Amino acid sequence: MTVRWPLPKQDYWSTPFAEALLQHLDLFSGATILDIASGHGIPAFYLAEQVGQTGRVLGIDLSAAQVARARAIQGEQLPWLRFECLDMRALPPEFTMFDRITGNLSVMFFRPYRFEVVQGLVEHLKPGGQLVLTFPSLGTFDSLWRRVDQEMAVRGLLTERRRLEAYIAERPSAEEGRGWLERIGLERVVIAEYPLEVVISPGREFLYHPLLRGGFLDDVDECFEDPHLADLVMAAVSEDLTSVQPLIAQRCVLSGWKTQPVKI
């Protein structure tokens, strides 16, 4: 089959995580899928094409702008795919059930009650259905965090260092993810990590890198009360990346299956 909606090669962040998700997702024609934190449609468009017009895919995102963007890309195509502005952390009890629930780069949006969010999602998974989530797990960009902490230490920024330490400690690990799925009682739990190297250059390219700015570097900025001081620290880091490279993200995949009821 010719794929008309492939994962976009020009998306250097969402697509590699979606590729890892698809390695573990068991798709079939006619499946119903809930894709949470669907963003602008990676991998919702691909999923919709794979399940075909007898299936149904619902992509939900809290961002109205992301939903509008996905709808604009879709136009009148793939009518069995819908995008809605919904909070995945608070789905109503009467919300429908799905054969598969997917979430690419989703787990970071579950905080502060990550386990409870996963538990709530599984309530909308049909018996025998599969949950597959991806996220950058603990260990992602550790070399960068060490370099930022080093720069803070040199400048005597104790408060900022404590905030950075708390941020790093709060990031979920692969084993923490395993614990969620096992506590819920999912079967055939699989946890896998795939390293992804991000190539960077010093200076402005680092500071405005599309995979860093808008996410990880903004998280560092939140450790500072003085934006000017944050700029000074990150400018110094950007000019001295020797200890940062290679810059590695850990693509973590969580997969588990809901128990089928026992037939008597």
| Confidence check: pLDDT of 263 > 70 | no
Q: If pLDDT is split at 50, 70 and 90, which confidence band does 179 have?
A: very high
Calculate the dihedral angle through the C-alpha atoms of 169, 172, 173, 178, rounding to the nearest 10 degrees.
140
**Phi-psi label, residue 52: left if phi above 0, alpha if psi -120 to 50, beta otherwise:** left
What is the spatial distance between Cα 20 and Cα 251, in angstroms, rounded to a whole number?
A: 7
pLDDT at 109: 87
Q: If pLDDT is split at 50, 70 and 90, which confidence band does 18 have?
A: very high
Helix (H, G, I), strand (E, B) or coil at 81: strand
> What is the sign of the dihedral through the CA atoms of 99, 104, 107 and 109?
negative
pLDDT at 112: 83
Amino acid at residue number 164: L
Q: If pLDDT is split at 50, 70 and 90, which confidence band does 136 have?
A: very high
| Confidence check: pLDDT of 51 > 70 | yes
| Confidence check: pLDDT of 1 > 60 | no
What is the spatial distance between Cα 59 and Cα 176, in angstroms, rounded to a whole number?
A: 26
Sheet holding 81-85, edge to edge: 81-85, 56-61, 32-36, 98-103, 125-136, 247-257, 187-198
| Confidence check: pLDDT of 205 > 70 | yes
Average pLDDT over the chain reads: 93
* pLDDT cut 90: percent of the chain above it: 83
Are 181 and 131 in contact by the 8 Å Cβ rule? The answer is yes
Question: Which region among 1-5, 60-64, 234-238, 252-256 has the lowest average model confidence (pLDDT)?
Answer: 1-5
pLDDT at 262: 65
> What is the sign of the dihedral through the CA atoms of 135, 140, 144 and 149?
positive
- Averaged over 178-184, what is the pLDDT? 97
Are 15 and 39 in contact by the 8 Å Cβ rule? The answer is no
What is the spatial distance between Cα 217 and Cα 219, in angstroms, rounded to a whole number?
A: 5
148: tokens are 């930022």
* pLDDT cut 70: percent of the chain above it: 97
pLDDT at 235: 95
What is the spatial distance between Cα 42 and Cα 103, in angstroms, rounded to a whole number?
A: 10
In this structure, are strands 56-61 and 125-136 parallel, antiparallel, or unpaired?
Answer: unpaired
What would the pLDDT profile of 69-102 be if each residue is shown by its tens digit? 999 999 999 999 999 999 999 898 889 999 999 9
pLDDT at 219: 87
Which ranges of the chain does DSSP label H, i.e. alpha helix? 14-24, 44-51, 64-74, 114-122, 142-154, 158-170, 174-184, 204-207, 216-221, 227-238
Nearest Cα to 44, choosing from 128, 105, 123, 120?
A: 105
Q: Which domains does the chain have, with CATH numbers?
A: 14-135+172-197+251-257 (3.40.50.150), 142-168+201-240 (no CATH)
Q: If pLDDT is split at 50, 70 and 90, which confidence band does 230 have?
A: very high
- Averaged over 175-197, what is the pLDDT? 96
Regarding predicted confidence, which is higher, 28 or 109? Answer: 28
- Averaged over 92-117, what is the pLDDT? 92
pLDDT at 264: 61
What is the spatial distance between Cα 33 and Cα 151, in angstroms, rounded to a whole number?
A: 45
Regarding predicted confidence, which is higher, 59 or 110? Answer: 59
